[in-house]
Amino acid sequence: MRVIVFGGSGMVGQGVLRECLLDTGVSEVLSVSRRALDASVDSAVDRKSPKLRELVCPKEFESLDFNSLADQLTGYDACFFPLGVSSVGMKEAEYTRITRDLTLAVARVLVERNSSMVFVYVSGEGTDANSKTMWARVKGGVENALFDMPFRAAYAFRPGLILAKNGIRSKVAIYNFFYRALFPLVWVLGKFPKLSTDTETVGRAMLRAARETPQQRVWNTAAINSLGR
């Protein structure tokens, strides 16, 4: 299986990259990002792996036009899309551009060039296209748009609390502060599969979804944990 990962330098993205590189059934992993993977991910991701190829394309991320990269995005079996930003302090138009417009710009190119591709999108617990909460409404719209595209299958992962494993650290300072300051509570929550998952489990669940293409399209925390065992 050949896979594409968007957002490989983020906390969840690192977990997905790691599991893809470790999986003997994955022959190639293409990491697509605005900036190259750096030393901060070395503890989790083997950047020297012969499976790993990087496609760094800042102009395309800025313009939201990935058509010039279509040839390089052709011939893949799955796309894992844990790329995202926090909505804190952002206006809806700005958040929508990064969250909806970017995701769908990528998806349109991929589905045109990879008719048998599986697309796995990470949104979050509480996502709902009819929600009064801005981020939940925007991400819900993204999910629905992906479900309408002619991928072989499209899935929405809606995790709640995600714990970092295997040396992975978030690049968002406030998340790292949260984990340190509330470690006892986080540790307790980690014992409840309905409330929390971890980066390793999410990566494994994505791979299993891509291989088995189950009928269920939306996966909450408990379902992700079950799929990623």
Percent of the chain past pLDDT 90, that is, above it, reads: 75
Strand extents, DSSP E, 98-169: 118-122, 153-158, 161-163
Q: In 3D, which of 103, 128, 122, 139 has the Cα closest to residue 224?
A: 122
Q: Kindly give, in sequence order, each residue whose CB lies less than 8 Å from that of residue 200, ignoring residues fewer than 6 positions away.
A: 15, 18, 19, 165, 166, 228
Average pLDDT, the chain: 91
List, in order of start, the domains of the chain with CATH numbers. Answer: 2-227 (3.40.50.720)
**In 3-state terms, what secondary structure has residue 80?**
strand
Q: Please answer whether residues 137 and 127 qualify as being in contact, where contact means their C-beta atoms are separated by less than 8 angstroms.
A: no
Res 191 pLDDT > 90: no
Instruction: Tell me what pLDDT residue 188 has.
Output: 61
Rg (CA), the chain: 16
Instruction: Count Cβ neighbours within 10 Å for each residue of 22-44 and write b for 16 or more, e otherwise.
Output: bbeebebbbbbbeeebeeebeeb
Span 36-52, pLDDT tens digits: 998 878 778 889 999 99
Q: In 3D, which of 222, 22, 4 has the Cα closest to residue 109?
A: 4
201/165 Cα distance (integer angstroms): 9
End-to-end CA distance of the chain: 20
Span 57-112, pLDDT tens digits: 999 999 999 999 999 999 999 999 999 888 888 999 999 999 999 999 999 999 99
